[in-house]
Structure formats: structure tokens, C-alpha cells
Structure 1
């Protein structure tokens, strides 16, 4: 039987690109097929930055994010690009789990500390704080666009083929191998990895029974920093359900400085449910107005009226746990629920192992029923 590559990867966003890179690290040949052009803005992987947050309380998440940290460092060295800006990350607001998270970090030897809100406000004058702050200094942001390019450049330098503008119509397990049907013909690999984000249900549901996935159009914004010397950590901020002043919040808020674009802030997972092929790319005006109100009240270092909306997708599971599971010859990565980018190099390695029959952590490995 003729194979076009050892590994066929369907989807050229961050997870597919990471899987391709992971395969080349092990000396395997790779063919990656992506429906859209390189650098497109229709999915969840575009944009300049993402939070790099290591403040997780569960062992499964900590295992992945710590592995990812080492792999990000390896990719930085191999690509010659700076991919992590370790400006620190702060978690604050009404979050009863912060002490549990801090204990999990202590057990893993991850540096962290709690700051009084006044001390935090003095250190980061562009932000307001009402509660104690959990600071993780060895965290910050990932340079997302540079990361995508780094995965591709290093993988292709090792022989991987990235084919863009190649729509995949079907993925099949045929005689124990991964078969892909496209308008340009069929391709076969010994193993397959499919990670197509918001299009997971559309591409896979005829062949594979997936957990429920909800696609939403998310709408963060960039805010222009005011004149002055401000230091900006990345941040997660949780509302207080007992505080009337927080009643307008849609969800916790995440954010970070995006150099050259401003301070990015957004509600988490509250956008309208959407068809990824029929998006409006327009922000909901009520949610945007609420986000601007948040900026006025909590980010005094930005001009709240300067908001420039951004559009991306979340593909979320009911539990917010990822899907890293196998069906036939295919490893499926899906449902990253707006928190996956930081884990990408470790997810890529995991998906490659899953494709070859190794188990993922049970938290991330629901049973997928072949149809």
C-alpha cells in the first residue's frame, strides 16, 4: 500500500501545526492539509497574542502546560523566534479556587505569590484590584502569529508538506490507515490527526460520534493605552456574584498587552452561537458596550472609547475539557474551549501519540464512536 506520508494532518491552525511539528521531531514524514489560505482569520488561531497561564489546579492541566512550556522553549530555539513574553500573569476577583490553585502550584514548584490589592495597584497602575491577587511570574503571553509561523517553518525545514487552500471533504479509516478525500484527490497516511476547530462537527459527524461542541463567535477588543509608563501583566479577572456593581459582567474577563495593538480584553465564552461558515464578524453592541464599561472601571490605563473589536471562534465542550481521543486511524483534537493555545505543543505531541494507539489522560479522552 502506498502512503503519501507517515502522518496526515487535517487542519492548519495551531493544533494541527503543532502536531505536524511533533511528528517531524520524531523523524516522521508529514502532509498537512488546510482548507483556507495561510494566516486566515476565520477560525481560532489568528491574532498576535494569547495568554500563557500556568495557574491550573488539576494535575492533568498542569502536566500539559508544564510540558508545553519546555516545548515552547525548544521551538523558540529551533525557529530563532521569541514566542513567550514572560511578563507575569495575575488572577484576581471572586475566585474561591485561587488558594487551591496556589497549593497545586506549590506542589509542582511553580513560583507564585499573593499580593494585597493596594500593592498590586501600585505595581500595575493601569489596572484596578479589589481582592488579593495571585501572581504567577513565569507566565505571560504567547506570540500567537509568530508561533504558527514557527511550527510551520521548523516542520517544513524537516520535510513536512503544508498544503493550504485544500478543502478536505471526508476523513476515513480504510484498512487501518488514514484516508483523506479532497477535491484534489485522495491522500493516505499510516496515521491521521484531525483538528479543525469550529468545523469539527461539519467534517466529522458523519464518521465519528463526538461530544457536544458549541461554536460561538467571540468578540474581544483592543484598547489604546493612555500616555504614561504602565506595566501590563496578562490577567484573568472573575466577578463577584454578591457585588451589585458586577451584575453587568457577562463572564470572567481575560486580557493582555498586545504590542502595537493595545491592551486586549474580552468576555470568556459568551459570544453568540454561530455557524463558522455564516459568521457576521460584527460584535454584539450590548456586549461591546459592557466590555467598554469594564475597561472604564477596571483598566484606568486604557482609553475605553478606543475599542477596536476582534472576532474569533470558540469551540467548547460542556465541561471545557479538551477532546484528545482516537477513532480508527484518526486522533481527534477538538473543543479547546477558548483556553487551548498555551497547551499547543503538548497537545500536538499528545495527538500524535493517540494516533499511534497511546492513551491520552482520561479527562481529555471521551469515547468516540465510529459511524
Structure 2
């Protein structure tokens, strides 16, 4: 049986057969943005690929749903800026293939103290990788963005290659093109067991599937799915309050006047997007949240986040109402260093893990998908993966 969502056709597997006669080149577990990007990359290369998703699609239970994400080349770390060069090109290619807009270039603004470490690290990374940017010293910053009220010593970097990713449309594009290139997508297929071997077997309630290689992109369910492998990573699942703030003057914070933005904010980082997905409402969020379990996201008290953000918006965005007009939620799966794990599972050269994207993996997904696919094919990845190795964390007790 098939379900159709726009141009996306999802196979709902109602059989009880083990399907042991079918061996895929790669089986991808998890149809969030990273898993879908990996599946898209593999199918486009002609690999026989299966993508399994535990929930019926589309859904909002993980980290990849919603209308918007920020994309940018401005990063403090060189390796991300390097990856974003190619990721930006792939986003453009994906939207051409899909036939609808995925990336809207609005620019991106990194804000912080003039000559402070945060901005200087961004400048260094952008400069080393030949990316375009403009540095706005404090006076120029205030003149260009009069709707903002930051301290007089604040400056900014303008990244013209930044902008808005239309998250739901991007996910739909990945999955739709994956199927167009011959991939098979099955939702409502929760993987309950993974059996290692030269051919890996994955059990679901309705069927079992086999693949020469497996990519696991479990999102906030990482700890659960890794436990049977004896792998425990220091992952924390947190609930993010996605907050929208109404403009006092309609159109004053639109994409033509305000780009996407980020401020380090003394350990309480803030990110935002102009009035776009909800006309007249600006998206401004704290890049932190209370710890939670993946199955109980609505049982967590996040009042402190909203209270803190009320004060922030009141102080720095005088053109917005100082109470959120719309409140939604998202989930981050954080690592201690906020860099993901992209590596083989220990003692398994045909099982690859992508996890712990710490709330900034969506923009990187075109390159992450490529690298995960290369690892699954036994190839040398296009980028150095030292910052993402699984063994950078010491073995964890308490399995």
C-alpha cells in the first residue's frame, strides 16, 4: 500500500514476510534530515538503498520538522565553513531537481563584541576558506539594523551566503528525489533489532530487511538504539522552545530588512529568523533547553526559557511585542562539544552512525549525507572526520 504526500510516495509494508531474498547495498535507519540526505546521495549514485522510518510520515516527533532553519557559512570552526561551501551548492541542486524552493538567501548576521573572540573566529574561518563576508563595526552595525538594540560595543559579520532553509520542503525534496532515483522508503517501520554480520539484518514488527551496510541516524532515540551494541555516548536530549514574536509595526522585521542571525550571548546563545513563515512574527529562540526523554517532550517544564527570552526580546528588539505570540517545540540531541558523531560503530565496518547534531546539523545535511554514504560504501570520505570520531568520548559506564 502507498501513501502520497504531494510528490512523495511512501510504501507502507503490511507483509509479514522476512524478505530474506532481498539484500540492499545500504539500509538507512531514520528518515530525518541526515538519514534522508544519506539515502538521497546513495540512490543518486545508483546504490540499492532502503530508508526505514519508525513513525508514519510526515511527523513532528524528532528534530527535522518545521518550516524553517538557518543556513550559513560563517562558523567559528574551519571544518564547518569548509563543509558549508559544498552544502550550499547541493542545496541549490536539490531544489532544482525537486522543482520547488528549498533555500531562500536572506543573508546571515553573526553578532557580538567588536574584536571579540566569537566574531574574530568567524572572520578567520571565512577568510581562510575564501568565503564572502562583510565586517560591520559598531557604528555601521547600528546604522544598518536600527530595529536592534545591542550594546554600543557590538559589531557584526554579514554572511551573504546565509539564509533560510525551508525545512519541511527540504525533507520532502530529499525523500522524493531518493525515490525518483530508485530508492525505497518505508515508514511505520520501527527497527527493533539489528543483527551484525557481513550482511546486516534489521528486524521490524512487520518484516526483516538485509543490507551489506547500514547507516543509523536515530536522532533523539540514539541511546536506545545503541544500547544493544554496548555503545553509550554522552548524549543529552533537550527540548527547544521555538518562539515567535509579533511585530509592532508590520513589515519592520521582514527578510528584506533583517537577515537570519545568531548571538553567542555569554553561554546562552540566541538565534533568529526574520518575519517569514508566520507573516508579522519573528522567530527568536534560545539555543538551549531543559533535558528530556524523547518520548516525553511535552512533560518538561520550560518556563525558564520563555521567561529569559521575554527579557531578551524586550531589551534587544524594541520593535517586537515582549511576549511570544506562538510557541512550538523542537528537539536537540547534544554532545558535550556540540559536534556530531559521524563514524563506524566500534568493531563494525559496515554499520555507520550519524548522531548528536546538537541543533545545527540541518544546514550541514547535504555534506553529512554524502560522508555517511561514502563510509557505508567503504570509501575514504571527502572531509576529515577527526572532530566527529566516536572514540573522542571515553567509554561510558552504566550500560
TM-score normalised by the chain length of structure 1: 0.91
Moved over 3 A (4+): 1-4
Shift of 1:4: 3.9
Question: RMSD of the TM alignment (CA)?
Answer: 2.0
- Say if 1:193 and 1:351, in contact at 8 Å, map to a contact too: yes
- Once residues 295 and 185 of structure 1 are traced to their aligned partners in structure 2, the CA distance between those partners, rounded to angstroms, is 50
- Once residues 232 and 374 of structure 2 are traced to their aligned partners in structure 1, the CA distance between those partners, rounded to angstroms, is 19
5 Å-filtered alignment, 1:110-121, equals 110-121=131-142
Match for residue 29 of structure 1?
A: 48
Match for residue 206 of structure 1?
A: 228
Cα pair distance change 1:308/1:234, threshold 3 Å: same
Shift of 1:228: 4.0
Aligned residue-pair number: 359
- Once residues 213 and 334 of structure 1 are traced to their aligned partners in structure 2, the CA distance between those partners, rounded to angstroms, is 9
1:125 aligns with 2:184: no
Shift of 1:215: 0.7
1:162 aligns with 2:185: yes
Match for residue 296 of structure 1?
A: 314
1:78 aligns with 2:78: no
TM-score normalised by the chain length of structure 2: 0.85
Structure 1: 5+ residue stretches without partners: 241-249
Shift of 1:205: 1.5
- Once residues 126 and 91 of structure 2 are traced to their aligned partners in structure 1, the CA distance between those partners, rounded to angstroms, is 20
- Say if 2:51 and 2:185, in contact at 8 Å, map to a contact too: yes
1:312 aligns with 2:330: yes
Question: SS at the partner of 1:342?
Answer: coil
1:254 to 271, 283, 290: 271
- Say if 1:7 and 1:28, in contact at 8 Å, map to a contact too: yes
For residues 55-98 of structure 1, give each alpha carbon's deviation from its aligned partner in whole angstroms, at most 9, with x where no partner exists.
12333212221121111111011111211111111111245131
Question: SS at the partner of 2:69?
Answer: strand
1:276 aligns with 2:294: yes
- Once residues 282 and 47 of structure 2 are traced to their aligned partners in structure 1, the CA distance between those partners, rounded to angstroms, is 40
Shift of 1:45: 0.5
- Say if 1:117 and 1:129, in contact at 8 Å, map to a contact too: no
5 Å-filtered alignment, 1:318-329, equals 318-327=336-345, 328=348, 329=350
- Once residues 30 and 172 of structure 2 are traced to their aligned partners in structure 1, the CA distance between those partners, rounded to angstroms, is 14
Question: SS at the partner of 1:311?
Answer: strand
- Once residues 198 and 157 of structure 1 are traced to their aligned partners in structure 2, the CA distance between those partners, rounded to angstroms, is 28
- Once residues 172 and 225 of structure 2 are traced to their aligned partners in structure 1, the CA distance between those partners, rounded to angstroms, is 25
- Once residues 207 and 75 of structure 1 are traced to their aligned partners in structure 2, the CA distance between those partners, rounded to angstroms, is 35
